[in-house]
Amino acid sequence: MHNFDFYNRTRIVFGEGTIARLGELAQPLGKKALLVYGKGSIKSNGVYDQVVESLNAAGIEFVEFSGVKPNPTLTHTREGIALAKAEKVDMIIAVGGGSVLDESKAIAAGAVSDADVWDFFLGKAEVDTALPVLTVLTLAATGSEMNGGLVVTNEETHEKLGMIKEPLQPIASILDPSTTYSVNAAYTAYSSVDAICHLLESYLTHSDDFAPLQDRYVESIVKTIIEVTDTILESPDNYQARAIMMWAATMAWNGTAPSGVGPFILPHHFIGHSMSALYDTPHGASLSIMLPAWMTWRAAQDPSKIAQFAKTVFDIDEADPAEAARLGIAEFEGWCRKIGSPTTLSAANIPLEGGPEAIAANAAPLRHMWGLPDYDEALILEILKPAIR
Amino acid sequence: MHNFDFYNRTRIVFGEGTIARLGELAQPLGKKALLVYGKGSIKSNGVYDQVVESLNAAGIEFVEFSGVKPNPTLTHTREGIALAKAEKVDMIIAVGGGSVLDESKAIAAGAVSDADVWDFFLGKAEVDTALPVLTVLTLAATGSEMNGGLVVTNEETHEKLGMIKEPLQPIASILDPSTTYSVNAAYTAYSSVDAICHLLESYLTHSDDFAPLQDRYVESIVKTIIEVTDTILESPDNYQARAIMMWAATMAWNGTAPSGVGPFILPHHFIGHSMSALYDTPHGASLSIMLPAWMTWRAAQDPSKIAQFAKTVFDIDEADPAEAARLGIAEFEGWCRKIGSPTTLSAANIPLEGGPEAIAANAAPLRHMWGLPDYDEALILEILKPAIR
CATH number at residue B377: 1.20.1090.10
Residue that terminates a domain, selected from B179, B210, B243: B179
**Do A73 and A137 have their domain in common?**
yes
Is a pLDDT exceeding 90 seen at residue A158? no
Note the ipTM here. 0.96
A210, A230, A254, A313, best to mutate vs chain B, most B CBs in 10 Å = A210
Query: What mean pLDDT do residues A375-389 have?
Result: 98
- Residue B174's SS3 state is strand
Cβ–Cβ below 8 Å for A9 and B9:
yes
**Do A119 and A202 have their domain in common?**
no
Query: What mean pLDDT do residues A359-364 have?
Result: 97
**Do A335 and A217 have their domain in common?**
yes
Which residues are within 8 A (CB) of B281 and not within 5 positions of it... i.e. 6 or more apart?
Answer: B272, B275, B289, B348, B350
pLDDT of residue B57: 98
Confirm whether A3 is domain-assigned: no
What domain range includes position B357? 185-387
Q: Report pLDDT digits (tens) over A128-137.
A: 999 999 999 9
pLDDT of residue B116: 98
Confirm whether A1 is domain-assigned: no
Closest CA of chain A from B268, distance in Å: 25
Number of domains in chain B: 2
State which residue of chain B sits closest to A248, comparing Cα positions.
Answer: B213
Residue that terminates a domain, selected from A138, A164, A179: A179
Cβ–Cβ below 8 Å for B14 and A8:
no
Q: How far is CA A285 from CA A35, A250, A279, A370, B133, in A?
A: 28, 19, 11, 20, 45
Confirm whether B3 is domain-assigned: no
Residue that terminates a domain, selected from A150, A179, A208: A179
Stretches where chain B sits below pLDDT 50 are none
pLDDT of residue B71: 86
Confidence of residue A239 (pLDDT cuts 50, 70, 90): very high
Check: CB of residue A141 under 8 Å from CB of residue A169.
Answer: no
- Residue B261's SS3 state is coil
pLDDT of residue A134: 98
Cβ–Cβ below 8 Å for B7 and A11:
yes
> Crossing angle for the helix pair A321-339 and A212-234, nearest 10 degrees?
30
Confidence of residue A21 (pLDDT cuts 50, 70, 90): very high
**Do A160 and A141 have their domain in common?**
yes
CATH number at residue A43: 3.40.50.1970
> If you write DSSP's letter for every residue of B302-361 in order, what string do you get?
--HHHHHHHHHHH----SSHHHHHHHHHHHHHHHHHHHT---STGGGT--TTTHHHHHHH
A213 chain-B contacts, CB cut-off 8 A: 220-221, 224, 244, 247-248, 251
Q: Does A14 touch chain B (CB under 8 A)?
A: yes
**Do B169 and B197 have their domain in common?**
no
pLDDT of residue A71: 86
Confirm whether B136 is domain-assigned: yes
**What percent of chain A lies above the pLDDT cut of 90?**
97
Among B201, B199, B121, smallest CA distance to B366 is for: B121
**Do B164 and B190 have their domain in common?**
no
**Do B296 and B366 have their domain in common?**
yes
Confirm whether B100 is domain-assigned: yes
Confidence of residue A159 (pLDDT cuts 50, 70, 90): confident
Is a pLDDT exceeding 90 seen at residue A289? yes
Instruction: Give this prediction's pTM.
Output: 0.97
pLDDT of residue B158: 85
Q: Does B235 touch chain A (CB under 8 A)?
A: no
Confirm whether A189 is domain-assigned: yes
**Do A155 and A208 have their domain in common?**
no
> If you write DSSP's letter for every residue of A60-81 in order, what string do you get?
-EEEEE--PPSS-BHHHHHHHH
**Do B41 and B143 have their domain in common?**
yes
Host H or E run for residue B250: helix B239-252
Sign of the torsion angle spanned by Cα atoms B372, B375, B377, B383 = negative
**Do B137 and B279 have their domain in common?**
no
> If you write DSSP's letter for every residue of B110-146 in order, what string do you get?
HTT-SS-HHHHHHTSS-------EEEEE--SSS-GGG
Q: Does B223 touch chain A (CB under 8 A)?
A: yes
Is a pLDDT exceeding 90 seen at residue A70? no
**Do B303 and B350 have their domain in common?**
yes
**Do B150 and B269 have their domain in common?**
no
- Residue A333's SS3 state is helix
> If you write DSSP's letter for every residue of A41-55 in order, what string do you get?
HHHHSSHHHHHHHHH
pLDDT of residue A377: 98
Cβ–Cβ below 8 Å for A240 and B4:
no
Confirm whether A83 is domain-assigned: yes
Confirm whether B291 is domain-assigned: yes
Check: CB of residue A58 under 8 Å from CB of residue A27.
Answer: yes
